[in-house]
Amino acid sequence: MSSSPTVVRRITRPDPELVKTAAQYGVATLHEANRRRGLMLDIHPVVPGTRMCGPAVTSLNHAGDNLMLHAAVEVCEPGDVLVVATLSPSTHGMFGELLATQCRAQGIAGVVLDAGVRDKRDLQEMSFPVWSRAVSAAGTVKATPGWVNVPVVCGSATVQPGDLVIADDDGAMVIPRSEVAAAVEAARLREEREAANRARLQAGELSLDVNNLRPLLERLGVTYTDGC
């Protein structure tokens, strides 16, 4: 990261067709498909039932200050996901209904913050896709310059500008841009396997992924008995 405050306007995004394909899969599937990497920890949906999938535009702010969040909104393109981080831990309500209105007008897919949001009821009425660590009425100033489109850490996950961010009711995650194609293909294969398993479960067969649950448990040292 450049040490002096910077706004990087142009970033490289994943292939839009790939983004569209990735959007068909849920976070649980993509997280497994991406070898259980990239999940944002302690980041929760603010508006249940919404989803988003798009390239990350990142914003690095000072705690209690949302100046660079505003700067990042301005460089977002339609379909982007705004990823908001702070230099030190913060639960301030950095984002609310007014910013959501601006984001929607610009076609931004949604927002994830390693910080707080406010105006929760308005955000829910707007069905605006937003994920955060906290909900807090505590407001922010617009005073201290920071960075737009530098690597950030959001929910303990590293996000580079242009990485793919996906979020739904299960949480939010990031896939590095260079790994999106492989993750999408692994997600497709996984859903195929799950469809086959689902059909077997619906037919009343007992075991899940493991074809033979009892031999597996016995190999792991579990004893079956008919009673004490």
Q: Which residues are part of a known binding site for substrate?
A: 96-99, 118
For residues 58 and 66, which CB has a smaller minimum distance to ligand OAA in the complex?
66
Separation CA 148–CA 100 (nearest Å): 18
Binding-site annotation: residue ranges for Mg(2+):
119
CB of 69 vs Mg ion, minimal distance in Å: 13
Separation CA 156–CA 39 (nearest Å): 8
Token pair listed for 109: 């897919």
C-alpha distance from residue 27 to each of 131, 168, 175, 226, 227 (Å): 13, 6, 11, 41, 42
Separation CA 173–CA 44 (nearest Å): 11
Contact 92, 139 (CB under 8 A): yes
Stretch that binds Mg ion, among 69-77, 92-100, 131-139, 203-211 (CB under 5 A): 92-100
**Binding to ligand OAA by residue 140, rule CB under 6 A?**
yes
Q: Which residues inside 66-85 make contact with ligand OAA, applying CB under 6 A?
A: 66
Binding-site annotation: residue ranges:
96-99, 118-119
> Which of 30, 47, 76, 99 touches ligand OAA by CB under 6 A?
99
75 three-class SS: helix
Stretch that binds Mg ion, among 93-101, 135-143, 175-183, 184-192 (CB under 5 A): 93-101
Contact 26, 168 (CB under 8 A): yes
CB of 14 vs Mg ion, minimal distance in Å: 32
> Which of 65, 80, 97, 168 touches ligand OAA by CB under 6 A?
97
For residues 62 and 118, which CB has a smaller minimum distance to ligand OAA in the complex?
118
Separation CA 67–CA 72 (nearest Å): 9
In the complex, the residues that contact Mg ion under the rule CB under 5 A are: 96, 98, 119
In the complex, the residues that contact ligand OAA under the rule CB under 6 A are: 66, 95-99, 118-119, 139-140
